[in-house]
C-alpha cells in the first residue's frame, strides 16, 4: 500500500492485514494510489516473490488436462 495515497487512509487499509487470506500487508514508502505504476521497482519484486512462493514446480504439477 502506498503510504502517500491521497484517497485511501493507510490506517483504515491496515485492516486488510487482518484477513486470513492476506499473507502480508506491505506499506510502500513515498508511493501514492497506484504503486504498480509509480514504483514498479518496489512492486515487481514483491509480485515475483509471491508468484515464486505459490507456483508449482513442473515436477509437482498435475499432468491431467
Q: Summarize pLDDT for 30-62 with one digit per residue, the tens.
A: 999 999 999 999 999 999 999 998 887 665 555
**Cell 491521497 appears where?**
6
pTM surpassing 0.75? no
Distances, alpha carbon 63 to alpha carbons 2, 20, 29, 53, 59, in Å: 40, 30, 43, 21, 10
In a domain, 39, yes or no: yes
Q: What is the extent of the structural domain holding 25?
A: 10-58
Q: How many domains does the chain have?
A: 1
2 strand-pairing partners: 28
CA distance 61 to 40: 30
CA distance 63 to 65: 6
In a domain, 53, yes or no: yes
CA distance 9 to 22: 18
Amino acid at each position: 500500500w502506498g503510504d502517500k495515497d491521497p484517497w485511501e487512509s493507510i490506517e483504515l487499509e491496515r485492516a486488510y492485514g487482518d484477513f486470513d487470506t492476506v499473507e502480508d500487508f506491505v506499506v510502500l514508502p513515498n508511493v501514492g494510489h497506484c504503486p504498480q505504476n509509480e514504483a514498479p521497482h518496489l512492486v515487481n519484486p514483491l509480485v515475483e516473490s509471491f508468484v515464486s512462493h505459490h507456483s508449482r514446480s513442473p515436477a509437482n504439477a498435475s499432468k491431467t488436462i
